Amino acid sequence: MNPLKSGPSSASRGRQMSEQRFNGKTRRFFTSLVLPVDPSRTGECTRCGACCKFVVVCPFLRYADGDPNSARCAAYPVRPLQCRKYPRTKDEQIHQPCGYRFEDGGE
Protein backbone atom coordinates (compact mmCIF):
# COMPACT_ATOMS: atom_id res chain seq x y z
CA MET A 1 0.00 0.00 0.00
CA ASN A 2 1.31 3.42 -0.96
CA PRO A 3 1.15 5.66 2.15
CA LEU A 4 1.06 8.76 -0.07
CA LYS A 5 -2.25 7.62 -1.60
CA SER A 6 -3.96 6.35 1.54
CA GLY A 7 -5.13 9.72 2.89
CA PRO A 8 -4.24 11.26 6.22
CA SER A 9 -2.37 9.11 8.71
CA SER A 10 -3.99 8.18 12.00
CA ALA A 11 -1.62 10.64 13.74
CA SER A 12 -2.79 13.38 11.39
CA ARG A 13 -6.46 12.50 11.97
CA GLY A 14 -5.86 12.46 15.73
CA ARG A 15 -4.24 15.89 15.56
CA GLN A 16 -7.15 17.18 13.44
CA MET A 17 -9.69 15.83 15.96
CA SER A 18 -7.80 17.43 18.85
CA GLU A 19 -7.82 20.76 17.02
CA GLN A 20 -11.57 20.48 16.38
CA ARG A 21 -12.21 19.72 20.05
CA PHE A 22 -10.03 22.59 21.19
CA ASN A 23 -11.72 24.96 18.73
CA GLY A 24 -15.15 23.78 19.87
CA LYS A 25 -14.27 24.37 23.50
CA THR A 26 -12.80 27.79 22.76
CA ARG A 27 -15.85 28.77 20.73
CA ARG A 28 -18.19 27.57 23.48
CA PHE A 29 -16.29 29.64 26.02
CA PHE A 30 -16.58 32.90 24.07
CA THR A 31 -20.14 32.51 22.74
CA SER A 32 -21.44 31.69 26.22
CA LEU A 33 -20.14 35.04 27.47
CA VAL A 34 -22.45 37.09 25.24
CA LEU A 35 -25.06 34.89 23.53
CA PRO A 36 -28.22 33.40 25.07
CA VAL A 37 -29.34 29.77 25.15
CA ASP A 38 -31.45 28.90 22.10
CA PRO A 39 -35.06 29.21 23.26
CA SER A 40 -36.01 26.02 21.37
CA ARG A 41 -33.93 23.93 23.79
CA THR A 42 -35.95 21.36 25.70
CA GLY A 43 -35.19 18.41 27.92
CA GLU A 44 -32.96 18.25 30.92
CA CYS A 45 -29.51 17.16 31.97
CA THR A 46 -29.27 13.42 32.60
CA ARG A 47 -26.06 13.94 34.57
CA CYS A 48 -23.89 11.81 32.33
CA GLY A 49 -20.97 14.21 32.84
CA ALA A 50 -19.77 14.03 29.22
CA CYS A 51 -19.62 17.80 28.85
CA CYS A 52 -17.58 18.01 32.07
CA LYS A 53 -14.87 15.79 30.55
CA PHE A 54 -14.49 17.57 27.23
CA VAL A 55 -10.79 18.00 26.36
CA VAL A 56 -9.88 17.93 30.07
CA VAL A 57 -11.72 16.46 33.05
CA CYS A 58 -13.09 19.27 35.19
CA PRO A 59 -11.57 19.18 38.69
CA PHE A 60 -15.02 19.96 40.14
CA LEU A 61 -16.72 16.90 38.57
CA ARG A 62 -17.97 14.42 41.19
CA TYR A 63 -19.90 11.15 41.00
CA ALA A 64 -21.99 9.58 43.76
CA ASP A 65 -20.82 6.05 44.59
CA GLY A 66 -19.25 5.58 41.16
CA ASP A 67 -22.66 5.82 39.44
CA PRO A 68 -21.87 7.07 35.87
CA ASN A 69 -25.20 8.93 35.70
CA SER A 70 -24.78 10.85 38.92
CA ALA A 71 -22.39 13.58 37.77
CA ARG A 72 -22.56 16.74 39.80
CA CYS A 73 -20.54 19.94 39.98
CA ALA A 74 -18.77 20.70 43.25
CA ALA A 75 -18.74 24.39 42.25
CA TYR A 76 -22.32 24.46 40.89
CA PRO A 77 -23.41 27.88 42.31
CA VAL A 78 -20.40 29.61 40.75
CA ARG A 79 -19.89 27.46 37.64
CA PRO A 80 -18.79 29.37 34.53
CA LEU A 81 -21.20 30.44 31.79
CA GLN A 82 -19.95 27.81 29.33
CA CYS A 83 -21.08 25.12 31.78
CA ARG A 84 -24.20 26.97 32.89
CA LYS A 85 -25.44 27.36 29.29
CA TYR A 86 -24.33 24.01 27.82
CA PRO A 87 -25.65 23.08 25.30
CA ARG A 88 -26.36 26.65 24.25
CA THR A 89 -27.23 25.74 20.62
CA LYS A 90 -27.56 22.56 18.58
CA ASP A 91 -24.41 23.54 16.74
CA GLU A 92 -22.47 23.66 20.01
CA GLN A 93 -23.99 20.41 21.34
CA ILE A 94 -21.00 18.15 20.94
CA HIS A 95 -21.92 15.30 23.26
CA GLN A 96 -24.48 12.62 22.44
CA PRO A 97 -26.53 11.26 23.96
CA CYS A 98 -27.38 14.41 25.90
CA GLY A 99 -30.66 15.01 27.73
CA TYR A 100 -31.21 18.32 25.90
CA ARG A 101 -32.77 18.65 22.43
CA PHE A 102 -33.44 21.54 20.05
CA GLU A 103 -36.93 21.52 18.61
CA ASP A 104 -36.31 23.53 15.45
CA GLY A 105 -32.76 22.54 14.76
CA GLY A 106 -31.20 25.37 16.75
CA GLU A 107 -29.42 28.42 15.32
Task: Identify the residue among 38, 71, 85, 88 touching ligand SF4 (CB under 6 A).
Answer: 71
User: Does residue 58 bind ligand SF4 (CB under 6 A)?
Assistant: no
User: Does residue 51 bind ligand SF4 (CB under 6 A)?
Assistant: yes
SS3 for 15-46 is HHHHHHHHHHHHHHHHHHHHCCCCCCEEECCC
Nearer to ligand SF4, 3 or 66 (CB): 66
Nearer to ligand SF4, 8 or 43 (CB): 43
User: Does residue 102 bind ligand SF4 (CB under 6 A)?
Assistant: no
Give the other-Cβ count within 10 Å of 87's Cβ. Answer: 23
Measure the CA dihedral 40/21/34/36, to 10°: 10
Nearer to ligand SF4, 25 or 47 (CB): 47
Considering only the stretches 9-17, 31-39, 46-54, 55-63, report the one whose residues sit in contact with ligand SF4 under the rule CB under 6 A.
46-54
Taking a C-beta distance cutoff of 8 angstroms, is the pair 42, 100 a contact? yes
